[in-house]
Structure 1
């Protein structure tokens, strides 16, 4: 009898589970001036949720996931403003001036969903956890296409909510680690291995994890581009949370953890280390940037309980001699090794960026 009642309850909840699709408008993906571009292209769309009260996100699916061969990444941001925003168009590093300032400053900060090439098309949060969506929430969908866009490409996200009036025990958050998308990262050519570390320092975690607050990490997505070969995330320089070895650009899957989940507290310090190979680059070094032929080093930590004012903890490289970071020179293996040694020997070349919300957190 109890099993039958439980079955009816499950069926009832399943039937009344709420959902909503957030898709790029068809007029964007069918615009020939966009799709004929020979470089990477970012398209964004602000979506208004029609909630009369708060909901909790239970999971999501990538819509039209079987047609993602031209998609570099997909991000969903939560806007930090109640005023109604309207925008559908170009965005990203090279189109910032085309975006309304209100959208750029208020919507490209807190990432709540991150998907990259080759990742899973369905994602479920752990039982008793959910991501809160308020009655005034606005979401910005950002899709990075590579080289071209298939006409009428309906890429987007299908959000799955808990039924009304069901509030999970824990609210989840997403913490972005690594570097800014436009960081002054520089990789000399002709080298088999280059090690690039970034940090979320203890001072940062101590500030946000006060009063014995502990972050329970239940999944992690690491992200880099074509020259990345390995990515490691360590806590306190010895507890290895993740080691993607080898890192595969076309297979950027989220790593899930089983209970008991890894924990981070005020005594922790995080190191995200990306390894690259430029052995097939002969004539120029590689800079940090958005495109697949540029490089970056980032990680997205899914955790609970959420810390409202802590969406990112980034660091940026600060080089003593910026004159060596250019391609106006004749490259040789000897020169590349010399420059790389200077970069690696400068142990203090990374400084912690502001912990507060930064509009440049977008990848």
Structure 2
């Protein structure tokens, strides 16, 4: 992985269940350093610095202080030097460390998003160790966001040997982005006609240079087969009143990418089907532009390159969206709190009915893409079965809005009929003075995950939201009516009719007048977590047959307890906290699952 734009610093790594090995290459004859930082600065960072001087390799384990400054050497050196050399103008340092060292001067290495800081010096230290005089130049440093448990892939690694590959592109075409802070552009494309079934095996977003911070995410959705194609290659504003009616039928996910993400490779035994009667023929490229500076000169031609093969793989893959349905009424996030937890589900009822209709007993999940907006600091995707929480599908306690990457699961996970998925988003709202609601804008929030699996089902969305009546009742609000031209209810256009003390105020005005703090936000979160849910179970662009409109939130009798090798069991049920690999909790969850099964068998 190249760390800087000038390709001076490169890092390679690999890991097992207990340790990780790094190999740092620096285009310098001086020292090289990398570190893991909570904030992207040297403050509180866990740092490794090495050099080769007079034929001897030196490696030091160091840490940042409470502020940016010279990093002192750790009391205990927890780095194992494996190799060091200086050759052809490069310094190469290879070392290994434990994922969890139980050292207060080190940071645990987890499956969270990490900020890897790096720096290099043009010369070796003047003495036996680094000193303040060996400070790097201002330009000889940087930060790179990574998922260390996602090893980078290339075509050579990811494709089966001898497989034939072809490509097609769908791109925006010199689209002049309107001068508004949030704009969703929908552009219609016709998929190429294929002579026979093909498998899509790689999806790569290509962002126009200069627009990397403005193209927030791009999704490709399949449209209905009898779609009116007169608007092919034309642009329209998504979700606006002038959008052609047919565009509302484009719901099935074909591809998803968010800011910071890279190319996605399907596992070698799976591919996304193209070319058969049931496959996409017309798609919409939905591009979310984030334009906080209200630029008038932004022109964009970002889009996707799709790699496909006629050499069919074993399984057809599918993609479904799980989590909290997008709503400006039923997704409420209080302000002025360091942690606000939001819960939503892909309910067992939706999954079971879909599996039954498709003739499957289970599906295999192999990858996920977590997606939220600016307030999210943590996201967890839980796996629930018969009241027992199994090891989670994904968890990121350091979620970063500007780095949303696909996560390949360490092992495929079987999702059985009767299972459910729970999505937890942890929001930090200390910088917000008013209530935030769900919505499409970057300033609104989302709490969703794209789940990649096989064999393919027709399920597009598996989501829940708290019942609106329950939400309004929690705040003591009775009758309301929608006012204004926007027929979609949200907190701003719902005018309260009862009780009299709130009459003629909007719901948003009342909620913003409340005294929100950590305690009141926790109280609301706990109440919303237990409210009756509205289920959004959509297959083939229609509500799935046989599913209930309302479902109860899942009951978890045996939450997952992850073992912490330094301090013993650590329950992660309610707060999204830092963890080691998810496999640490496997054995305990298996035991409690067995106990639950026995309990049901004997009717305890």
Structure 2: how far apart are the matches of 1:124 and 1:111? Answer: 16
Which residue is 1:155 aligned to?
302
> Deviations along 1:289-315, whole A, 9 cap, x unmatched?
1111111100000111101x2111111
1:281 to 399, 418, 432: 432
SS of the aligned residue for 1:353 comes to: strand
Which residue is 1:133 aligned to?
274
Cα distance, 1:55 vs structure 2? 2.2
Structure 2: how far apart are the matches of 1:38 and 1:91? Answer: 12
SS of the aligned residue for 1:354 comes to: strand
> Deviations along 1:237-288, whole A, 9 cap, x unmatched?
3421111111110111111124x41110103111011111111112x11011
Taking structure 2 as the reference length, the TM-score comes to: 0.52
> Deviations along 1:303-333, whole A, 9 cap, x unmatched?
11101x2111111122424274523443434
Cα distance, 1:134 vs structure 2? 2.4
Does the 8 Å CA contact 1:198/1:316 hold for their aligned counterparts?
yes
Cα distance, 1:217 vs structure 2? 1.1
Does the 8 Å CA contact 2:188/2:235 hold for their aligned counterparts?
no
Does the 8 Å CA contact 1:76/1:113 hold for their aligned counterparts?
yes
Which structure has more relative contact order (CA 8 Å, sep 6+)? It is 1
Does the 8 Å CA contact 1:48/1:139 hold for their aligned counterparts?
yes
Structure 1: how far apart are the matches of 2:316 and 2:360? Answer: 17
Structure 1: how far apart are the matches of 2:324 and 2:237? Answer: 19
Greater helix percent: which structure? Answer: 1
Which residue is 2:508 aligned to?
326
1:186 to 324, 332, 344: 332
Contiguous gaps of at least 5 residues in structure 2: 1-159, 476-506, 544-604
Which residue is 1:7 aligned to?
none
Which residue is 1:317 aligned to?
466
> Deviations along 1:109-130, whole A, 9 cap, x unmatched?
111211111111x111111211
Cα distance, 1:157 vs structure 2? 0.2
Does the 8 Å CA contact 1:221/1:254 hold for their aligned counterparts?
yes
Contiguous gaps of at least 5 residues in structure 1: 1-9
Which residue is 1:116 aligned to?
258
Does the 8 Å CA contact 1:24/1:44 hold for their aligned counterparts?
no
2:201 to 37, 58, 65: 58
Which residue is 1:265 aligned to?
416
Which residue is 1:3 aligned to?
none
Does the 8 Å CA contact 2:320/2:460 hold for their aligned counterparts?
yes
Question: For the aligned residues, what is the CA RMSD?
Answer: 2.4
Which residue is 1:4 aligned to?
none
Structure 1: how far apart are the matches of 2:521 and 2:514? Answer: 11
> Deviations along 1:8-55, whole A, 9 cap, x unmatched?
xx89755xx2211100122xx13xxx43x2320011111112214332
Pair 1:143 & 2:284 matched: no
Cα distance, 1:339 vs structure 2? 5.9
Which residue is 2:536 aligned to?
353
Taking structure 1 as the reference length, the TM-score comes to: 0.84
Does the 8 Å CA contact 2:365/2:454 hold for their aligned counterparts?
yes
Aligned residue pairs: how many? 332
Does the 8 Å CA contact 2:340/2:525 hold for their aligned counterparts?
no
Larger radius of gyration: 2
